[in-house]
Amino acid sequence: MAMATMQVQCRMRWPGRFMLGLAMIVARYLPPLRIPHKWVVAITNRSWQMKIGRGEWRNIRIGNDGRVIP
């Protein structure tokens, strides 16, 4: 089996950051309001980008089992 070592960078795009920030504000300051957990997970799992080495940023998704879906 061949092995390769590469530098990988990941970042979250703005929809995921916005949803996490909104969920945090609602949970802290507006306790009667609730944002369903599955909404937050659905948006953040689809809001990732990955760059391998010096390549370009590519959108990726993270499945429910934690695996990367290109």
Task: Write down the domain spans for the chain.
Answer: 8-69
Mean pLDDT of the chain: 91
> What is the spatial distance between Cα 43 and Cα 54, in angstroms, rounded to a whole number?
27
Q: Which two tokens stand for residue 35?
A: 């944002």
pTM value? 0.76
| pLDDT above 90: residue 16 | yes
Amino acid (1-letter code) at residue 69:
I
How do residues 20-34 score in pLDDT, each as one tens digit?
999 999 999 998 998
Do residues 12 and 48 lie in contact, with contact meaning Cβ atoms separated by under 8 Å? yes
Q: Confidence class of residue 39 from pLDDT cuts 50, 70 and 90?
A: very high
